[in-house]
Structures are given as C-alpha cells and as structure tokens.
Amino acid sequence: MTMNKHPISVTILSLLMLVTGVLGFVHHAYEARPWHTLPADAIAACLVSLVAVICGVWMLRGANWARWLTLAWMAFHVGLSALKSVQETIVHGVLLALFIYLLFRRPAREFFGTGA
C-alpha cells in the first residue's frame, strides 16, 4: 500500500465502481430468483458486479492490480456491449478511454506507486 494522497480522479472512479457494483449486484440478485428463466446468467452477472466492488475497495487502498482489473472489467463491458448495440458499445468505449486516461495520469501513477 502507498501512503500518497488519493487523487480525486481515483477516488471518484473507485466510488463509481463501488456504487455500480452494489447496484448491479442487487439488480442481478433480484433476477436470480428461483422462478426466473435463466438464473445462471444472473448469478454470473452478480459475480461480475462483485468484481466491481472489489475493484472499488482496493483502488481506494492503492492496489495497482485493482487499477488493471478495473480496466479489464470495463473492457469486458465494451465486449458485451458489442453484442447488443452500437450505441452501448460507443458509451462503454468512451468510458473505457476515460478510465484509461484518469488511471494513468501522473497523480494516479504516483498514487499506485508505478512511477512518475
């Protein structure tokens, strides 16, 4: 762990991941009710949501691996979006680009201890 001050961009993205993960988990857990037709899909979605929560918590703690997992999580969503619609793919692609920019700026690199 690093003792550097949290950059506001990392704090915001971490909280965004936490909120997205919690809300996603609640939503998909509701879908996983026994009478739902495809509970396996909802369970998988709950696991993906839990990954978002883990990313948010550990990015706040300064774990560099969580930064990379966050980018992988977002890239995964770009791929899922490509199966749905062009508009959704564009939105997730723009978000991925924004995440990359914010997580690799100098303050974030210093916070995660990966150099200046």
Residue 1 in any domain: the answer is no
Instruction: Flag whether pLDDT at 76 surpasses 90.
Output: yes
Write the pLDDT tens digit of every residue in 78-98: 999 999 999 999 999 999 999
What is the structure's pLDDT at 5? 81
Instruction: Flag whether pLDDT at 37 surpasses 60.
Output: no
At 77 the three-state DSSP class reads: helix
What is the structure's pLDDT at 2? 42
Close Cβ partners of 43 (under 8 Å, ≥ 6 residues apart): 28, 32
Tell me which residue of 17, 103, 26 sits closest to 56, measured CA to CA.
17
Residue 15 in any domain: the answer is yes
What is the structure's pLDDT at 1? 44
Mean pLDDT of the chain: 89
What is the structure's pLDDT at 13? 96
Stronger pLDDT, 100 or 1, i.e. the higher one: 100
Residue 21 in any domain: the answer is yes
Residue 73 in any domain: the answer is yes
CA distance to 34, 68, 103, per residue, from 74 (Å): 29, 10, 12
Domain with 97, as residue range(s), is: 8-111
Residue 3 in any domain: the answer is no
Count of domains forming the chain: 1
Residue 2 in any domain: the answer is no
Q: What is the arithmetic mean of pLDDT over 5-27?
A: 94
